[in-house]
Structure 1
Amino acid sequence: MKNKWLGFACLLPLLSGCNDANSSISASSDMVSKQQIDTIITNINKQYPDASNELKQNVLNTAVRAIENLVFVKGGSFEMGDFGAPCEIPSRTRNRIDWSPDVQCLSSFFSVKTGIDNLHKVTLDSYSISKYESSFMDMEWMRQLNNLPVADNKWDGYQILEGETIQRDSKEYQELISHKTNKIAKTKLWQEAKDYCQWLGNVTTLPFDLPTEAQWEYAARSRGQKKYFATNNGYRQLQGSDYYDPNTEYYVNYNNDVNASTSPEKYIGQWPANPLGIYGMSNQISEWVNDWYSADYYQESPEYNPQGPKTGKQKVMRDATGAVMVFERFDTKPEYYTVSFRCSLQQKTPAIILN
């Protein structure tokens, strides 16, 4: 459904979400109610009375879009972890595996090291998750509003200048944002991702947060299906790659059916969504989740709505670079840079109820 944005003036007053004439900022949406938009406007004006109308408008658009981009995920049960693979892959490539109940081998090289060989039942309540990773510009509006530095590194050639930030009144900043349209946000800290999602919650009065590790995997696997990649068909199909068809005994080239790359996505939504309608969960761009990391956690994880260990020194990262599968997990320090994220809505009902 195409969204309709009005900018500063309310051009279509009969549409749901069109705000009253006294508002200095306004928006319209086919999906988000007028009441919800009015709540967001009230919160922005109350929390940030000194911000410019232009910045408030950008923040309003960001908040409304965050709600529109939510995919409702109906709760259920699934087996979390490495659900196995045939020891001899008929297609002769890990990028194209079909699961069957008689699989005998682990799928991933890292399964034992990271504990995902401990396949365990998980049952989740319903929730919502963003169909896209957060964008650089949406995060930038939030950081401007809260007087936080630009969430990107300052470089000298190929070297990061530690401790230095890009100034927003500089030519360097203008060049940065000119090529950041529809690009993902990259954080230097796990806390930056956490803060952004919770800030969305403050502005919208909805329980936004980072997804738990279990929620991330359940959504990537389209409600727990035994698919190895979060693509439109569960396979990782690269430009110029092929697979062996045992029925014809010929190699088959993907040609126009490419759905992934050996490099990170160039822009948000570059490749097709998974069957649940979520993009970029197998796009070689790492994502934070809410959980602390423990290699032993899958052995002791509760079945219902697991939240991860209570404490730790490292955080869980999903969809790390490389040909990783949807159940693979990685540990990294919370200060690890260039990790992206998507937000989730921690409530059992959809944020948007269509008539």
Structure 2
Amino acid sequence: MSPLPKLQLAAILCCLFKSGGATPVNPPKVPQMSKQYIDESKLVALKQPAALATELEALGKGPIEERVERLRKKVVADLVFVKGGTFMMGDFGPLWSPEKLPYSVDPTSKPVHEVKLSSFSIAKYKTTYAEFDVYTDATGTERAATDPYGMEQRYPAAPAGVQWQRAKDYCQWLEKITKLPFDLPTEAQWEYAARSRGKFFVWATDNGNIDYGRNVPAAGHISFLTPFTGLRHYPVGLFPPNPLGLHDMAHDGEEWVNDWFDKDYYTYSPKIDPKGPVEGVRKVARGWPVGDSILPNTMYRRSRPLVALPEEMKDFGTAPPNYQSQGLRCTVQQSTPAR
């Protein structure tokens, strides 16, 4: 082989290495959902990637200074840079779905409106109890989910369930230890990232479809995924990420965002970098709370109270008021890559 072809080959390999060699994934023209009930003998007990499991386990060992340093390195390494752009935010079903039907029964996810976002970075995983415990131990604050019910549900690899203010405090504490502008994502940033830079993905899965048992849990599958019986959340990172590289945005717990909730906000939202209403009573949560097999779309919104009230917990039967269902993933609010 002559030198020139070798150089050309090296350049090609270099480009492939930098891009991961990945082929862009586009939304399916007609999103498909498989059957959620699968023969139990065919359900697979998925395991967390070994490297991730090792990282999370290490966060609980050693002096607090060492644990904080491990967390600092991990949260920075886990950031996914999201190049900004313009997208149509909200339930795009009536305009773009082949059936001309809305994808969501949520009336607050309308109207579809144009949004232009600056670039930012976002965590590839939801924040786990292993990570949140480092924060509480370092700051001398109470650990999350310490009530009797919470203690039955928490384990290091699971998404941490917290009230909104604690989620906000955690992200802002990361700013102190990393010197990067960490914060909760805005609602627009969350949807843009879930839809892989605002593409018309109905579900935040690896291929835009719901393949029960492969890219989301099937009915009854969670008992195969958690280390103990009776748990509601499975370890982060078990299922394939969305095309942007973000895990579990379709499931395994809702995620807090910065915005106050206003059912009419989409009618007056600013076009450039919207940050939600200037005031409110309840905050927005995105994603799906708990359980298996039921998946909302990437446009679905929920309003949640800042403080858990008994009447807000009707769906959880005899479970005491807590925030097992609302978790978080932090962002870095700067337009250049954080690493």
Alpha-carbon distance in structure 1 between the residues aligned to 2:194 and 2:101: 22
For residues 133-172 of structure 1, the C-alpha deviation after alignment (integer angstroms, 9 at most, x for no partner) is: 01101111110111111111321xx6x7xxxxxxxxxxx8
- Give the CA deviation at 1:108: 1.0
| Residue of structure 2 in register with 1:54 after alignment | 63
| Residue of structure 1 in register with 2:118 after alignment | 125
After TM superposition, list the pairs within 5 Å mapping 1:256-271 onto structure 2: 257-262=214-219, 265-271=233-239
Aligned match of 1:109 in 105, 108, 124? 105
8 A Cα contact 1:222 1:274, kept in partner: yes
Q: Which amino acid aligns with 1:235?
A: N
Q: Give 3-state SS (helix, strand or coil) of 1:65's partner.
A: helix
Unmatched runs of 5 consecutive residues or more in structure 2: 1-16, 18-60, 223-231, 309-322
Aligned match of 1:347 in 322, 334, 338? 334
The Cα RMSD (Å) is 2.2
Alpha-carbon distance in structure 2 between the residues aligned to 1:63 and 1:142: 11
- Give the CA deviation at 1:219: 0.3
Alpha-carbon distance in structure 1 between the residues aligned to 2:329 and 2:125: 7
8 A Cα contact 1:129 1:342, kept in partner: yes
Distance 1:259 1:332, change over 3 A: closer
Alpha-carbon distance in structure 1 between the residues aligned to 2:176 and 2:199: 34
Alpha-carbon distance in structure 2 between the residues aligned to 1:60 and 1:312: 36
Q: Which amino acid aligns with 1:326?
A: T
Percent pairwise identity? 39
Q: Which amino acid aligns with 1:119?
A: V
Alpha-carbon distance in structure 2 between the residues aligned to 1:335 and 1:261: 32
| Residue of structure 2 in register with 1:184 after alignment | 159
Alpha-carbon distance in structure 2 between the residues aligned to 1:276 and 1:283: 16
Alpha-carbon distance in structure 1 between the residues aligned to 2:155 and 2:120: 30
| Residue of structure 2 in register with 1:79 after alignment | 88
Alpha-carbon distance in structure 1 between the residues aligned to 2:140 and 2:72: 18
Q: Which amino acid aligns with 2:104?
A: S
- Give the CA deviation at 1:260: 3.6
Runs of 4+ in 1 over 2 A off after TM superposition: 257-265
Aligned match of 1:328 in 300, 305, 317? 300
For residues 213-240 of structure 1, the C-alpha deviation after alignment (integer angstroms, 9 at most, x for no partner) is: 000000000001111111001112213x
| Residue of structure 2 in register with 1:47 after alignment | none
Alpha-carbon distance in structure 2 between the residues aligned to 1:78 and 1:258: 25
Aligned residues: 250
Alpha-carbon distance in structure 2 between the residues aligned to 1:207 and 1:194: 12
Q: Give 3-state SS (helix, strand or coil) of 1:128's partner.
A: strand
For residues 10-58 of structure 1, the C-alpha deviation after alignment (integer angstroms, 9 at most, x for no partner) is: xxxxxxxxxxxxxxxxxxxxxxxxxxxxxxxxxxxxxxxxxx9710100
Q: Give 3-state SS (helix, strand or coil) of 1:227's partner.
A: coil
Q: Which amino acid aligns with 1:199?
A: W
Q: Give 3-state SS (helix, strand or coil) of 1:183's partner.
A: coil
8 A Cα contact 1:236 1:260, kept in partner: no
| Stretch moving more, 307-316 or 77-86 | 77-86
8 A Cα contact 2:207 2:243, kept in partner: yes
Alpha-carbon distance in structure 1 between the residues aligned to 2:233 and 2:241: 13
Alpha-carbon distance in structure 1 between the residues aligned to 2:173 and 2:156: 22
- Give the CA deviation at 1:258: 4.5
8 A Cα contact 2:206 2:215, kept in partner: no
- Give the CA deviation at 1:320: 2.5
Q: Which amino acid aligns with 2:83?
A: K
Unmatched runs of 5 consecutive residues or more in structure 1: 2-51, 87-98, 161-171, 240-256
Larger radius of gyration: 1
Distance 1:216 1:327, change over 3 A: same
| Residue of structure 2 in register with 1:196 after alignment | 170
Alpha-carbon distance in structure 1 between the residues aligned to 2:276 and 2:67: 35
TM-score normalised over the length of structure 1: 0.66
Q: Which has the higher helix share?
A: 2
